[in-house]
Chains A and B, each alone.
Chain A
């Protein structure tokens, strides 16, 4: 579906969709201040998503390996930014990334 778009538009669209989906997962799980959760979703995904795409297209072309790595990094960011216990942050990062990974597979094949 999104693969019909030009390459830069695909990247921007996939980042926006990722931020939106992960924000919804954070909000559904934590029910905390939405503005803060949105800011966290923007910062975390703006940092990890381009790196994930770069890894997938270059040195590590294995989708689930990259997703696992990104999940671990995001869980550390979430624990620090949202002051969550690490296990809880890992759970949240796994759930959010699972949602975006499945959506990514559906949209990009």
Chain B
């Protein structure tokens, strides 16, 4: 083996070692945190017609079960940390002081109390979005479809998390992620053919 080949191999091994070292220390290795291409985002949801049901109380129970709750008034935007389940209760006979402040007792209350109309509606909480997403906050709008003494039916009116990209953005994405690499690939193929002919 020549000196040049030896030093080339040594350099390659050094680079490979550096690559492995950096790969091990890279942010994505810390799986408990955000993924490297994600950012946390401020999320809240509001109930557009909460004021249309004056005989009922709306309650957002935060998850994991027992992590607190919020009485949802018309116009409120509820900010859950992780997850939230929207329940309702008939105002007559509802006593907020009976709700345990937190913990397993609170979870049991929402699962068993006769005052609570079940099952609740699991809010579509968004905690992270890709870094490429230009939004800094998401506000979802929910609407009560049916609310009786035994039934709560809620629907998502507008999912800000799935808003389609603007047409200009889509066109740019196609241009950038599809056409540009294809044109460059054709250029590379042309270059290789040209060099072979010479």
B114 on the interface (CB 8 Å rule)? Answer: no
**Count of chain A residues with Cβ under 8 Å from any Cβ of B?**
41
Q: Are B176 and A11 in contact (CB under 8 A)?
A: yes
**Count of chain B residues with Cβ under 8 Å from any Cβ of A?**
34
Nearest CB of chain B from residue A56's CB, rounded to whole Å: 6
Q: A7-B134, A61-B35 are in contact. Are A80 and B192 (CB under 8 A)?
A: yes
Where the two chains meet, the residues of B that have a C-beta atom closer than 8 Å to any C-beta of A are 8-9, 11-12, 15-16, 18-19, 22-23, 26-28, 35-37, 130-132, 134, 169, 172, 176-177, 180-181, 183-185, 187-188, 191-192, 195
Please measure, in the bound complex, the distance between the C-alpha atom of A23 and the C-alpha atom of B18, giving whole angstroms: 21
Q: Are A47 and B188 in contact (CB under 8 A)?
A: yes
B15 (CB) vs chain A CBs: closest residue: A94
Q: Are A43 and B11 in contact (CB under 8 A)?
A: no
Q: A46-B184, A81-B188, A87-B8 are in contact. Are A61 and B37 (CB under 8 A)?
A: yes
A24 on the interface (CB 8 Å rule)? Answer: no
Q: Are A91 and B134 in contact (CB under 8 A)?
A: no
Where the two chains meet, the residues of A that have a C-beta atom closer than 8 Å to any C-beta of B are 3, 6-8, 11, 39-40, 42-48, 50-51, 53-54, 56-57, 61-65, 67-68, 77, 80-81, 83, 87-88, 90-91, 94-95, 98, 101-102, 108
Q: A6-B134, A8-B172, A48-B181 are in contact. Are A56 and B37 (CB under 8 A)?
A: yes
